[in-house]
Amino acid sequence: MSAIEKLKSNFPQSIIAIGNSAGQDYVLIKSEDLKKIALFLKNELGFEFLMDLTCVDYKGYPGREEKHRFEMAYQFYSFNNKERVRLKVPVEESSPSVASLASLWLSADWYEREVYDMYGIHFSGHPDLRRILMYEEFQGHPLRKDYPLKGRQPRIPERK
């Protein structure tokens, strides 16, 4: 039985949709269930490696006007089973926040900081959520679709 089938049988109320993108199956889950599903993937199914996590901004995509603006994408891998699983989590524009997975996988720490810096998504429970690529005085989030291309930023202050 595949990991996706196990997720379907253990968390039927948490799954919004199952699909395939670029040849890889994914599971779209409710945001509030992310942590418990991630814990199940790690402890019960042996997905010990969080390969990547990122965000997609769908603002302006045709046909998505009534859906969520942001979507988190998580890539997990099990070395023992030689299996990958992709989780997607919708994130609302009005309160862009999801649970942090940094307590489960150390690699999530910097990935989440990058998404916070570039997209403005907050990770509740993150141990040190602050900018990682841009300087602290930088205004806005440069990978958002509505970021002004010709906007001006405050100068970097002198450090002493």
Report pLDDT for 152.
81
Q: Considering the chain, what percentage of its residues have pLDDT values greater than 90?
A: 80
Give me the domains of the chain, ranges plus CATH numbers. 3-97 (3.30.460.80)
Section 111-118 average pLDDT = 98
The pTM of the full predicted model, rounded to 2 decimals, is 0.92
Give ∠ CA 102-146-157 in degrees, rounded to 5: 70
- What is the per-residue pLDDT across 23-65, written as a single tens digit (0 to 9) for each? 889 999 999 999 999 999 999 999 999 999 999 999 988 888 7
How would you list the strands of the sheet with 15-21, edge to edge?
15-21, 24-29, 83-91, 70-78, 49-57
pLDDT band at 8 (very low <50, low <70, confident <90, very high): very high
